[in-house]
Amino acid sequence: MAKIAGMDAERGRWLLIASAVIINLAMGSIYAWSVFVDPLAGHYTEALGQAVSANQVLLPFSIFLVCFAVAMPLAGRYIEACGPRAVAMLGGVLTGAGWLLASMATSLAMLYVVYGVIGGAGVGVTYGALLTVAARWFPDRRGTAMGLTLLGFGASPVLMATIAGRLLAQFDVMAVFRIFGVAILATIVLLSLPLALPPPGWRPAGHAPPPAPGPEPGPAACPALHGLTRSEMLRTSSFYGLWICFFIGCVAGLMAISIAIPVGTEIVGIEAGFATLLVGLFAIFNGGGRPLFGALTDRFTPRNTAILSFALITLASLTLWRVPTTPVYIIAFAILWGSLGAWPAIAPTSTAAFFGMCDYPRCYGVVYLAYGAGALAGPMLAGSVRTATGSYLGVFPYVAALAAAGIVIAHLLMHPPGKEAGTTEEAETA
């Protein structure tokens, strides 16, 4: 009988989720990057005599997210071969090293490499291992387990920005980077120790797995698992439908993160302090959207949950565009931040449901590239509209149009390979 920390696996598997939540809480520190922008700009300008702008110091954030997304598919093949413990620990060492080396960076170019590339890659490596563990131990509640696993990543900005702010009040920015680096490295490495995949054939009591996509597994490919390989997945329309929908959800959410404060102060007219306070509220919706939409995906199927998220994005964007008042701003941005939390739960659950667990780490690694693309496109869309019109208000019709297109794409393509758009919910769940 499988055991986890001396407990029956059905109970002990929740300890793995708890470990993953805390690991993601540490890795999600990237979303508190805005707290470091001004201190870093001051450090390079005053201490090192290098004239830098706040915009230049924002670039490590984008590089980090792109490397995060790219590292996931590259590391995916090693999760099965080496085990999630070793892979997660390696990611923890890289992440911690990124922060520690950033504390010694003497130029922006060095900061881009050590923090953006090394730190971002480390998070991508560990992130994929955590999702694979959740997917394999929870075939009966996959969306819920993945949503809870990612709760820490979404909620991290609320806690980490507060901690960073208090540390910056006492220490210089490079000392704070060292503190974060040591704490993140130790947290990830120690909490990765219990991570493991279930033994072949294990499943929760009473759980009868539905027929999985793809042929029966062969001994040379995916022992004891069904599903499609990455190359087989790439030949299905279901993959492209999921990828595009994930991209649209991320564009809307990451755009909302990048312009939340300027929309509040410049368009709605609230004071800067109140706008900053509201960002903490929005971050709670970001974190809470992950377990909520993960559970909804379990209950209502990936397609229907995706359509719900796009309907909410469309409604929020159009309402804010036409009625830019304070109450509408708060509700609309809570929904948009929640949509960013929704898709990191919908996408991995959909990948497992559509393509099985045979080659899951590498399959979801490719799907996750949609997040990296959204990280670039969302802020770029917002900046382009602002440059062309002089206001961020014109962003929202574009977001609404994208979300409306997402509803159509989700309806037509977000289903298991070989199923028609009108398939029954039972077949789609399978």
List per-residue pLDDT tens for the chain, 430 residues long. Answer: 677 877 888 888 999 999 999 999 999 888 778 788 888 888 888 777 777 776 678 788 878 888 998 898 888 889 988 999 999 999 999 999 999 999 999 888 999 999 999 999 999 999 999 999 999 999 888 899 999 998 888 788 788 888 988 999 999 999 999 999 999 999 999 999 999 999 887 888 766 665 555 544 443 445 445 689 999 999 999 999 999 999 999 888 878 777 888 899 989 999 988 987 888 888 888 889 999 999 999 999 999 999 999 999 999 999 999 999 999 999 999 999 888 889 989 999 999 999 988 888 889 989 999 988 887 788 788 888 888 888 889 999 999 999 999 999 999 999 998 765 544 444 444 4
Contact 368/69 with Cβ under 8 angstroms? Answer: yes
Q: How many CB atoms lie within 10 A of CB 379?
A: 19
SS3 295: helix
- Of 272, 284, 29, 61, nearest to 164 by C-alpha is 29
Distance CA 88, CA 429 (A): 30
End-to-end CA, the chain: 27
The pLDDT of residue 167: 93
| Radius of gyration of the CA atoms of the chain, in A | 21
Q: Give me the helices (H) in 54-107, please.
A: 54-82, 84-102
Query: What pLDDT score does 217 carry?
Result: 43
- Supply angle C-alpha 16, 17, 22, rounded to 5: 100
Q: CB neighbours of 353 closer than 8 A, spacing ≥ 6?
A: 142, 302, 416, 428, 429
Domains of the chain, CATH where assigned: 10-191 (1.20.1250.20), 230-429 (1.20.1250.20)
* Predicted local confidence at residue 378, as pLDDT: 83
In 3D space, the residue among 327, 165, 336 whose CA is nearest the CA of residue 249 turns out to be: 336
Q: How far is CA 355 from CA 80, 127, 158, 394, 426, in A?
A: 17, 19, 35, 38, 16
